[in-house]
Amino acid sequence: MNPRSPRRRAALCAVGTAVLVAVTTATAPAAPAAATGGELTAEEFRPQLVTVDTPTREDKRLLQTLGLDLTEHAGHDYVEVVLHSPADVTALLAAGLSYAVRIPDLLVREAENSRVNAAYAAATTTSPLPSGRDAYRTLADYDADMAALERDHPDLVELITLPHRSLDGREIHGVEIGADVRGPDRGLPTFVMLGVHHAREWPSGEHAMEFAVDLVENYGNDPRITDLVNRSRVVVVPVVNVDGFELSRTDGGLVDLREVDQGGTGTILGTPGNAYKRKNCRLVDGQDTPDGTCRAGSLTSPGGYGTGVDLNRNYGGYWGGPGASDLFADPTYRGAAAFSEPETQNIRELVSGRHVTTLITNHTFSNLVLRPGGVAPDQVPPSEGIPLGDPYDEAALKALGDAMAAQNGYTSQHAWELYDTTGSTEDWSYNATGGFGYTFEIGPDEFHPPFPQVIDEYLGAGEHAGRGNREAYLLALENAVNPATHSVLTGKAPAGATLRLRKTVATPTWTGSIEDTLDTAMTVGPDGRFTWHVNPSTRPVVKDRQVETVSSEPVAQETFTGTTLPLQSTDSEFTVDRDADLFEIVLDWPTPDDMDLEVYRKNADGSLEQVGGSGNFVGEKERVLLQDPAQGTYVLRAINFASVAPTWTLTASLFDAESSSVPGLVENWTLTCEVAGQVRQTVPVVVDRGQQLRVDLKACGRR
Ligand code: 0X9
Ligand code: ZN
């Protein structure tokens, strides 16, 4: 089976227990062949959540090429993955990646959660959530709750239907919240909150919906919320992927039956359950299959996960690049083209038709606040030919990300720091419009945990009690209305005139570009004055860029040689005694077999903290790269796993990088002023983030 050393062997637990097992240590013995899934049929196999060891970035990239269902729960040396079939197990083992099973049978876990949820709901009349709900909503519940919000607060809430129906023929709804929501658009900034791009991530819709209820119920009572709602329009679409969610939410129930009926009947076993479906209901690219056929179509793949497009890889921003698959059956399948799916088209049109100054798209899980970019800054999209670098607004994006993470206790970081993704929601929305965009990964360890955890994550628990995502979202809404983070146009124009801002631009995909048309409008108030909160005219993606190039000559270098017998290791010490941009450690030896390298930093008390490691395949040499290494003493550990030539060479080098700047472009909005359907004036408008610009529209008032 596994070609690797014992450290690399998969630590597999028996399938079928309902306990959440602790991650077993890497030295656990190999399990019998049956437990690898290799002898189970696809129907017998139960989906598992496993932790795959990825000590190096190369390991992460290798893992990404396997077409497995990666979660966002990942750290610098691991990624959690859902295994759906015996073939998934085989792929992981063949790649030589070691893993430990964390939830051995997700379907049993599903049944267990259902029991906890039923017990909680039975014991609870009203939860502390804004809505008082004590259980996950179904799709029908979402629609009913949104309709009720509108019915009970008609001046404050408008139910909206997004322009495109889902592939299975469903309408997709949201709510728009604002003072005098049915009145004309007076140019307030829009805050967008999205949920359930990924079918199984139920809390992502719950939090979006609860935030909508929170704003509406507290409007007029809570001065902070009243002020925020008065100064914005808030659009909440709690379930973007309605088809996938409906399947995940309702097919999970079958799991209960199967567990009760151990061994199962043909029918039930033939329905593996869609509780862990991720993608949408695309069954064949380019074809809209008949409405209502998604459920049947999904049965062709285990857990329904093989069919569909990953909506969070289908947006246009760097679409087609790393961290997204071009294979239909893969969990991160990007779709036939950028925005090929009705669900992403809906969000594209929503964001292109307003000034969305801040957007949050909710996912589960991993307790993260992720900001752009989706791809590491050293990567070079062929469409641009230069490294991506950090997003133009990195400082401001980080400040808000950190502030939000301080409320919910999550980790604030770039999306790419876990693994690369392209075609995600904010990869597009930020690049195309300049509006701030974040992905929240809600909850510590499950796609849809027991419901009480959803409540804790929303309201905050423990040291975050009273804050949680509720407070983080409020900070995001405060950012959305803060003119310092967007742009403002002011002036005078005929009362009732329609002002439009338009821009047609090319948004880079990975290898080419797509055309985006941003087309927005507002109505001048009866006093003939306007204040329009808008996104900056120049998109971040065409702004000037700092590019780091590592110099070819090291500024310091030391070479060590040594002899280490099999299954032993040797430590060498190297001191980083200056500021450097890059620390490279390379381990080389003469035979094509197996040594590994681990790098530690020595703490003041002499203890060692691992800061890097490299365990490549047999025959490959080992290399660790550390960016901006802290000064101090490092221990470089050469480990002989299976090398017949015990003599090795270690080279430690420090490099500086040169920063150069690539000039940017200036873009303008085209502003038109219309009276009675006639364009009376057209002006180009160039406005930067944080700027307030007075626009002279006198000509619009003249006949
Ligand atoms: O992979 C994803 O789409 C997200 N993780 S999840 O487990 N919910 O599927 C995270 C995407 C992170 N990347 C960007 N937002 N760019
Ligand atoms: Zn997700």
Q: Give the tens place of pLDDT for each residue, 409-448.
A: 999 999 988 778 999 999 999 999 999 999 999 999 888 9
- Residue 160 CA, chain-centre distance (Å), reads 25
Ligand in nearest proximity to the CA of 82: 1
Average pLDDT over residues 494-508: 97
The closest-lying atom of ligand 1 relative to the alpha carbon of residue 439 is 15
**Inter-axis angle of helices 253-260 and 242-251, nearest 10:** 20
Q: What are phi and psi of 274, to 5 degrees?
A: -105, 15
Contact present, 414 and 372 (Cβ < 8 Å): yes
Contact present, 91 and 67 (Cβ < 8 Å): yes
What pLDDT was estimated at residue 257? Answer: 36
Protein residue closest via CA to atom 4 of ligand 1: 72
Protein residue closest via CA to atom 1 of ligand 1: 72
C-alpha of residue 364 to centroid of ligand 1, in Å: 9
Ligand in nearest proximity to the CA of 70: 1
What pLDDT was estimated at residue 23? Answer: 25
The closest-lying atom of ligand 1 relative to the alpha carbon of residue 372 is 16
For the stretch 367-392, pLDDT in tens is: 999 999 999 888 899 999 988 989 99
C-alpha of residue 196 to centroid of ligand 2, in Å: 7
C-alpha of residue 85 to centroid of ligand 2, in Å: 20
Question: Given pLDDT bands bounded at 50, 70 and 90, which one contains residue 571?
Answer: very high
Q: In order of start, what are the domains of the chain with their CATH numbers?
A: 12-104 (3.30.70), 126-255+276-484 (3.40.630.10), 552-655 (2.60.120.380)
**289-293, 679-683, 690-694 — which is least confidently predicted?**
289-293
Protein residue closest via CA to atom 12 of ligand 1: 415
Contact present, 500 and 520 (Cβ < 8 Å): yes
Residues 298, 250: Cα–Cα separation, whole Å: 13
pLDDT at 20 over 70: no
Contact present, 679 and 670 (Cβ < 8 Å): no
Out of 49, 79, 424, mutate this one to test ligand 1's pocket (max ligand atoms within 8 Å of CB): namely: 424
Out of 51, 60, 72, mutate this one to test ligand 1's pocket (max ligand atoms within 8 Å of CB): namely: 72
Q: What are phi and psi of 595, to 5 degrees?
A: -125, 160
The percent of residues above 90 in pLDDT, for the chain, comes to: 64
The closest-lying atom of ligand 1 relative to the alpha carbon of residue 424 is 16
C-alpha of residue 202 to centroid of ligand 2, in Å: 10
Ligand in nearest proximity to the CA of 366: 1
Q: Which of 80, 201, 441, 471 is catalytic?
A: 441
Question: Given pLDDT bands bounded at 50, 70 and 90, which one contains residue 16?
Answer: very low
pLDDT at 224 over 80: yes
Q: What are phi and psi of 370, to 5 degrees?
A: -105, 135
Ligand in nearest proximity to the CA of 195: 2
Q: Which two tokens stand for residue 204?
A: 């992502």
What pLDDT was estimated at residue 301? Answer: 62
- Residue 487 CA, chain-centre distance (Å), reads 27
- Residue 278 burial by Cβ neighbours in a 10 Å radius (0-12, 13-18, 19+): buried
Residues 273, 298: Cα–Cα separation, whole Å: 10
Residues 580, 623: Cα–Cα separation, whole Å: 18
Question: Given pLDDT bands bounded at 50, 70 and 90, which one contains residue 64?
Answer: confident
Contact present, 27 and 7 (Cβ < 8 Å): yes
Protein residue closest via CA to atom 5 of ligand 1: 72
**89-93, 152-156, 200-204, 270-274 — which is least confidently predicted?**
270-274
Q: Which residue has the higher pLDDT, 547 or 7?
A: 547
Contact present, 313 and 256 (Cβ < 8 Å): no
C-alpha of residue 194 to centroid of ligand 2, in Å: 11
**The sheet that has 622-627: what strands, in order across it?**
556-563, 647-655, 582-588, 622-627
Residues 590, 343: Cα–Cα separation, whole Å: 54
Average pLDDT over residues 300-321: 85
According to DSSP, the β-strands at 569-576 and 632-640 are antiparallel
Q: What one-character DSSP code corresponds to residue 21? A: P
**Contact residues of ligand 1, CB 6 A cut-off:** 71-72, 198, 201, 312, 363, 370, 374, 415, 421, 424, 426-427, 439, 441
Report CA-CA distances (Å) from 382 to 76, 387, 515.
27, 9, 17
The closest-lying atom of ligand 1 relative to the alpha carbon of residue 441 is 8
Ligand in nearest proximity to the CA of 321: 1
C-alpha of residue 278 to centroid of ligand 1, in Å: 11
What pLDDT was estimated at residue 303? Answer: 57
C-alpha of residue 22 to centroid of ligand 1, in Å: 24
Average pLDDT over residues 243-265: 59
The closest-lying atom of ligand 1 relative to the alpha carbon of residue 73 is 7
Task: Please give the sequence-ordered ranges of beta strands (E in DSSP) within 498-580, or none if there are none.
Answer: 498-508, 513-523, 529-534, 545-550, 556-563, 569-576
Residues 284, 343: Cα–Cα separation, whole Å: 16
Protein residue closest via CA to atom 16 of ligand 1: 374
Q: Of how many residues is the chain composed? A: 703
Q: Which two tokens stand for residue 439?
A: 């992905």
The closest-lying atom of ligand 1 relative to the alpha carbon of residue 370 is 15
Contact present, 3 and 94 (Cβ < 8 Å): no
Residues 499, 679: Cα–Cα separation, whole Å: 9
- Residue 466 CA, chain-centre distance (Å), reads 25
Q: Which two tokens stand for residue 674?
A: 């219309």
Q: Which two tokens stand for residue 524?
A: 């001048």
The closest-lying atom of ligand 1 relative to the alpha carbon of residue 363 is 8
Average pLDDT over residues 67-94: 80
Contact present, 371 and 415 (Cβ < 8 Å): yes
Q: Which residue has the higher pLDDT, 86 or 513?
A: 513
Question: Given pLDDT bands bounded at 50, 70 and 90, which one contains residue 628?
Answer: confident
**The sheet that has 411-414: what strands, in order across it?**
157-161, 173-177, 233-237, 190-194, 356-364, 436-442, 368-371, 411-414
Out of 280, 421, 429, 442, mutate this one to test ligand 1's pocket (max ligand atoms within 8 Å of CB): namely: 421
What pLDDT was estimated at residue 657? Answer: 86
Task: Show Cβ contacts of residue 572 under 8 Å, excluding neighbours closer than 6 positions.
Answer: 560, 562, 635, 636, 638, 650
What pLDDT was estimated at residue 46? Answer: 79
Protein residue closest via CA to atom 10 of ligand 1: 72
C-alpha of residue 154 to centroid of ligand 2, in Å: 32
The closest-lying atom of ligand 1 relative to the alpha carbon of residue 313 is 3
What element of type H or E holds 433?
Answer: helix 425-433
pLDDT at 400 over 80: yes
C-alpha of residue 542 to centroid of ligand 2, in Å: 28
Ligand in nearest proximity to the CA of 441: 1
Question: Given pLDDT bands bounded at 50, 70 and 90, which one contains residue 292?
Answer: confident
Report CA-CA distances (Å) from 69 to 77, 163, 221, 271, 561.
17, 30, 45, 20, 41
Out of 441, 442, 446, mutate this one to test ligand 1's pocket (max ligand atoms within 8 Å of CB): namely: 441
Angle at 75 between CA 74 and CA 80, to 5 degrees: 25
Residues 552, 560: Cα–Cα separation, whole Å: 21
Residues 521, 249: Cα–Cα separation, whole Å: 38
C-alpha of residue 72 to centroid of ligand 1, in Å: 6
How confident is the prediction for the chain on average, in pLDDT? 86
The percent of residues above 70 in pLDDT, for the chain, comes to: 88
Question: Given pLDDT bands bounded at 50, 70 and 90, which one contains residue 267?
Answer: very low
Say which amino acid occupies 116.
V
3-state SS assignment for residue 591: coil
Residues 150, 170: Cα–Cα separation, whole Å: 20
| 584 assigned to active site | no
What pLDDT was estimated at residue 272? Answer: 45
What pLDDT was estimated at residue 702? Answer: 87
**57-71, 156-170, 485-499, 625-639 — which is least confidently predicted?**
57-71
Question: CB count, 10 Å around CB of 90?
Answer: 14
First and final C-alpha spacing in the chain: 83
Contact present, 448 and 113 (Cβ < 8 Å): yes
